[in-house]
Structures are given as structure tokens and as C-alpha cells.
Amino acid sequence: MGILKQFKNGAISVVLIVIIAIVAIFAIVGIGSYNGIVSADQDVKNQLGQVDTALKRRADLIPNLVNTVKGYTDHENEAIEKVTSAREALLGATTIEEKNAANQELSSSLGRLIAIAEAYPDLKASQNFIQLQDELAGTENRIATARHDYNEAVKTYNTKIKQFPGNILAGFGGFTEAKYFEADEEDKAVPVVDFSE
């Protein structure tokens, strides 16, 4: 009888140790997954800050560009007003959707303003205008890089909150899917090349 009692106590101890080990493994995996989600979430926020910084830099260049164009043109007010209002919309945007829409509108109106400059040889030759165009082109490259990095961070984060066990932990932690910074339809269109002229 004593041997049977010792066997039962030993078996209970082994089962208890196995249960504790399993709980510990799940706790370690859960903590690691949760910390990974938090880290990815912070990376998304950081990368969004980088996008905001690049967009703000472009917005800061626009008044100088507009004033330079105004100095050479007297009747291009509509294009100048569109750029100015698009800039204000970008600076006031708070969500990814608003920033994306405002960015697309600003890019479009800036493109029109630069095209107008082609009609004014003195403006095109202005050192101030050339320098602003160069700074704007460099800023556009920074924006493209920041958007790419942001979208990569969003991809990593969204993957973490959709995979097991992250999907369960994301629900408990209140983590929701992040939105991508999308290209506008004009950027997606295939350019038409015509050599017939």
C-alpha cells in the first residue's frame, strides 16, 4: 500500500511539473508575442512621424515656391490658390486617409504649378526657382522613402497582429490593423509614350 501511495504522489508531482512547464512556456511565448506587437506598433508610429516630417518639409518649401512664381506671373492665381489650399489641407490632416488624400491633391497641384513655370522662360531660368525645384525634388524622394518605410512597418505590424498567437493578444491589447499610405491613381497609371511627333 505504501508503494502505491508513493507512486500516486510521484505521478501527481510529475503531472504538476508538466502542467507548470506548459503554462510557463505559454506565458513566455505570449509575453514575447505581445512585446513584438508593441514594438511593431511603435515602429509604425515612428515611421509615420518620418512621413509627417517629410510632408511638413515639402509644405514649408511651398510658400517660397508660390512667392517665386507670383513674382513672375500675374494671371496664374488659380493654380497658386490650389497649391496653397492643398498645402493647408495637408498641414491640417490627422488620419492616414486625410494625409493620403491631401498629399495626392498637393502633388497634383504642384505638378500643375511647375508646368505653368514652363511657359515663363525668365521664371525657369531664375536661380531661386531652380533651387526651390531641386529642394522640392529632393523632398519628394524623402517622402517616397518615408512612405515605403512606413508601409513596410505597417506590413510587419499587421502580420504580427494577424498571426497566432498575436491575433489573440492583439484583441486583448486593443491593437487594430494599421492603414497603408497608398499611391494615388495617377501614380498607378501606365504612362503613355508617343514618339510620333
Given a contact cutoff of 8 angstroms between Cβ atoms, the answer to whether 157 and 178 are in contact is: yes
- The reported pLDDT for the residue numbered 3 is 64
E-strand ranges in the chain read none
Given a contact cutoff of 8 angstroms between Cβ atoms, the answer to whether 83 and 62 are in contact is: yes
CATH of 2-178, one of 3.90.1150.10, 1.25.10.10, 3.30.565.10, 1.20.1440.20: 1.20.1440.20
d(CA 153, CA 60): 26
For the chain, give every domain's residue range. 2-178
Helices H / strands E in the chain, number of each: 7, 0
d(CA 182, CA 108): 15
Given a contact cutoff of 8 angstroms between Cβ atoms, the answer to whether 40 and 160 are in contact is: yes
What are the pLDDT tens digits along the chain (197 aa)?
A: 556 566 666 677 888 898 999 999 988 988 999 999 999 999 999 999 999 999 898 888 888 888 888 777 766 778 888 888 888 998 899 988 898 888 889 888 888 888 877 777 777 777 888 888 888 888 889 999 999 999 999 999 999 999 988 888 888 888 999 999 886 555 444 444 333 43
d(CA 33, CA 182): 28
